C-alpha cells in the first residue's frame, strides 16, 4: 500500500520489518525466486576460451573492470593462450599486452609465475580444487571460487566480490564486512545447488541495478522486499 510522501508524491510502502531483524526462510526463498526470475541464466562477463584463459582473465580483473580486461585479452590470448606460451612472453612481454589494466606490473609478475608453476607441477592443467588453486601466485579465495564454478561447475563456495558484499548487507543476508565471513553467512542460507548461480546473479544485479551510489530501486524486482537504509525513490 502506498503512503503519502512530502510534497504530495506517492511513496512506496516499505516492508513492515525493522532493519536488523532476522529473515525468515520464506523471505530468503523469495529473494532467490526474484533473482531467478530476473536473471535465469547469468554468466560471467569476462571473455575466455577455457579454464586457463578464464584463470588469467580473473587474475587480471582484480581491482579492475571486466570491460578493461576484455579489451586487453583478445590480443593476449591470440598469442598466449596456454601456460607455456604465456610463460614464454616473460614479464616485460606480458606487461606490454596488459598495461591498460590496473596493477599490470604485479599481475604480470604473478601470471608468469603462475604459468610456470602450472607447467612444472600440474601438467599445464588448471587444478580443480580450491586449496591447490590458491597455492598459485595471485590466486585468492574469490578467484579460485570463480574459476571452479564457471570453468568446472564445482560449487566450492560463493564468490564474494564488492557487489555481493554490498547486496548481501542491503538484503540483510549478512551483517559482516569481511568477505570470508560474508561468504560463510551466505553459505548457511543459500542452498549449495544455487551457490554458482547466486554469485553470478548478485554480481550482475549489482552492476545493473544496485550500485553503491544511487541504486535504481524503482526498477528493481527486489524493491518490495528490500528495506535497505539507502534505498532511492
Give the pLDDT of residue 233: 81
Same domain, 66 and 83: yes
- The catalytically annotated residue of 142, 155, 172, 185 is 142
Q: Find the radius of gyration of the CA atoms of the chain.
A: 20
What's the CATH number where 84 sits?
1.10.340.30
Give the pLDDT of residue 18: 34
Annotated catalytic residue 161? yes
- SS3 for 3? strand
Give the pLDDT of residue 178: 95
Give the pLDDT of residue 217: 95
User: Are 221 and 34 within 8 A, CB to CB?
Assistant: yes
- SS3 for 10? strand
Give the pLDDT of residue 17: 41
- The catalytically annotated residue of 39, 66, 81, 161 is 161
- Picking from 125, 152, 179, the residue at the C-terminal end of a domain is 152
| Domain total of the chain | 2
Domain that holds residue 90: 51-152
Which residues of the chain carry a pLDDT beneath 70?
1-22
Give the pLDDT of residue 2: 38
Nearest-5° Cα angle at 38, 220 to 168: 60
pLDDT digits (tens, 9 = 90+) for 8-58: 444 444 444 433 446 888 888 999 999 999 999 999 999 999 999 999 999
Q: Could you tell me if residue 197 is inside a domain?
A: yes
Same domain, 185 and 94: no
- SS3 for 4? strand
What's the CATH number where 169 sits?
1.10.1670.10
Residues 6+ apart with CB under 8 A from 72: 60, 97, 98, 100, 101
Amino acid at each position: 500500500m502506498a503512503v503519502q510522501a512530502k510534497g504530495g508524491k506517492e511513496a512506496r510502502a516499505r516492508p513492515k520489518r525493522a532493519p536488523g531483524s532476522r529473515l525468515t526462510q520464506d523471505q530468503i526463498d523469495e529473494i532467490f525466486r526474484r533473482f531467478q526470475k530476473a536473471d535465469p541464466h547469468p554468466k560471467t562477463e569476462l571473455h575466455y576460451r577455457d579454464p586457463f584463459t578464464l584463470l588469467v582473465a580473473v587474475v587480471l580483473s582484480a581491482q579492475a573492470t571486466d570491460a578493461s580486461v576484455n579489451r586487453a585479452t583478445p590480443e593476449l590470448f591470440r598469442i598466449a593462450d596456454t601456460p607455456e606460451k604465456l610463460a614464454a612472453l616473460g614479464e616485460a612481454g606480458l606487461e606490454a599486452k596488459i598495461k591498460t589494466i590496473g596493477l599490470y606490473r604485479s599481475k604480470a609478475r604473478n601470471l608468469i609465475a603462475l604459468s610456470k608453476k602450472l607447467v612444472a607441477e600440474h601438467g599445464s592443467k588448471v587444478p580443480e580444487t580450491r586449496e591447490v588453486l590458491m597455492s598459485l601466485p595471485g590466486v585468492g579465495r574469490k578467484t579460485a571460487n570463480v574459476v571452479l564454478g564457471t570453468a568446472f561447475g564445482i560449487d566450492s563456495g560463493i564468490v564474494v566480490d564488492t557487489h555481493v558484499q554490498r547486496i548481501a548487507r542491503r538484503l540483510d543476508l549478512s551483517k559482516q564486512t569481511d568477505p570470508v565471513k560474508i561468504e560463510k553467512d551466505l553459505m548457511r542460507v543459500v542452498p549449495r545447488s544455487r551457490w554458482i548461480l547466486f554469485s553470478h546473479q548478485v554480481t550482475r544485479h549489482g552492476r545493473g541495478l544496485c550500485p553503491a551510489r544511487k541504486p535504481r530501486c524503482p526498477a528493481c524486482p527486489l524493491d518490495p522486499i528490500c528495506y535497505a537504509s539507502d534505498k532511492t525513490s
